Every structure is written in C-alpha cells, then in structure tokens.
Amino acid sequence: MSTHETDKLFAGSIPALYDSQLVPLIFEPYAVDLSRRLAERSPSRVLEIAAGTGVVTRRLALDLPAGATIVATDLNPAMIEQARTVGTARPVEWRQADAMQLPFAEGAFDAVVCQFGAMFFPDKAQAFAEARRVLAPGGVLLFNVWDRIEENEFADVVTTALAAMFPQDPPRFLARTPHGYHDPRAIAADVGRGGFSAVPAIRTLAARSRAATPEIVAIAYCQGTPLRNEIEARDGSMLAAATRTSAAAIAARFGSGAVDGKIQAQIVSVER
C-alpha cells in the first residue's frame, strides 16, 4: 500500500483514539462553528460527507431545526461504526459513501457540509462537482480545511520531533495531507472546476487547542491518525517511542502540565 493510500486508512484502534483524543483536542471548536453557520440557514435536507466519527453530525443533531433530515457519510466503515456507537441526539442516516461518487439523486439536499475531509479527496474538483450535483438550486456547500502546518502548533511540533527521530525518511503525513490543502487560490480554483459559478467565501479562523498533558497531544496525533501507519511502516516497534518523543517535544515547547496551542483553519462556503 502506498504512502498516499495509507493517508486515508482509518482502521484498527485509530477510529476510537481519534474520537476520544483528537476530536476534543482540535475538532470540537470547528464543529461548533460549522454547525452554527449551517443552522443559520435552517436547511431541511443536509448531507455530510467525510463525517469521520461524527463530531459535526452530533452538533448538527443538536442545532438544526427539528424537522431537518441528516444523512452522514464517510468512506471508512470503521469511522462510521465508531460514530454510530457514540450516537446522536436524534436519528441520523449513516451511509458508507465515496465523496467522489455520491449515491444520491440530483438536487436531493439543501446543504452539503464537510469538516476537514476535503484534504483527503484524491480529486477535489470531482468531489465538489458531486456536492454540486446533489445540491438543490440555492443550496450551499460548506466545508473547512486546516491552514498550513506552521499555523497549527501541536501538529508542527510533532512533525518536527518525528523528523529528528527518523531523519532518513521523516513521517510527513500531517504536513502532506491534513495541512497540505490550505491555499485559498487553489481551493477556489477547485470549487470552480467542480462547476460552481459563484466565487466561494473563504475565511480564516483561529482557535485554541488544549489538553491536560503533553502525552494526550502525542497520543492523539501519533496513535489516533494515519500518522500511526507511517510510524509503524518505518519500524513496527517504534510507536511507543515516537509517542514519547512527541510528548517530550510538546512539553519542551508548552510545558509539562496543561498545554495550550494555536490551531487555524479556512472556512469555505459557496452556493449552487
């Protein structure tokens, strides 16, 4: 399996660790933001793509009008299963689906929402074209992507620490994929190639990432993301050592107790 294929592999213990460690660390504030933005439009039919373990889905179930229907999809069955296990405040239809080949009719939804998933789409314009196809006229595509890694302090520190640990072949998952799709011009171009005639609104939003200990941050990134696949591909016995090295680097930068780092994302919206 190639490196870029393992970037999309959320399996084994990753989904549970992702949901318990990474979601509260970095995803919660942006889930609240996306859900609030969408709720202001009062959509009645909502599709979520690349829903992961359901952090946005859970917020949508709380924030959207009572009559709104929510369909949440993800490419990875293990992530959908974790989301189902955690549950939502009201019924949600969970579907395994590829964002580039959505199994829904044209114009079936008033809104398509995606949190930190677009970076993983092999053909982003095709995924945006599919979102446009299933949107009704006047519907909105709303998504976010991480800004460059230098604006996301914990991810940057972990990446630098692991580069020193594996100097001949540094694991670059975080920089390459989660933080590799942040240029507003490239995003706008892909949205346009997806068939949207309107210019997307792109806003930068900073937030804070907090954890009780540096170890929590290290476990979240090294064991709760596909970075784990990269570490284990280099040396299957080194995951614990890589996690300790990352925790030490976090502690050296932010302190050995509770830690607080900057995170930053781009928020993108465009109407059909």
Residue 7 structure tokens:
């970037």
Rounded Cα gap, residues 4 and 16, in angstroms: 22
Cα–Cα nearest to 242, from 216, 268, 223: 223
Q: What is the pLDDT of residue 206?
A: 98
Q: What is the pLDDT of residue 10?
A: 53
Indicate the pairing of strand 45-48 with strand 69-74: parallel
- Output the CA torsion 248→253→255→261 (10° steps): -110
Q: What Rg do the C-alpha atoms of the chain give, in angstroms? A: 18
Domains and CATH numbers, the chain: 3-271 (3.40.50.150)
What is the helix (H) or strand (E) element at residue 250, kind and residue range? helix 239-254
Q: What is the pLDDT of residue 13?
A: 57
Confidence of residue 4 (pLDDT cuts 50, 70, 90): low
State pLDDT tens for residues 234-269.
998 999 999 999 999 999 999 999 999 999 999 999
SS3 58: helix
Strands (E), the chain: 45-48, 69-74, 93-96, 109-115, 135-146, 201-211, 259-271
Q: What is the pLDDT of residue 17?
A: 85
Assess whether pLDDT exceeds 90 at residue 38: yes
Residue 100 structure tokens:
């580039």
Prediction pTM value: 0.93
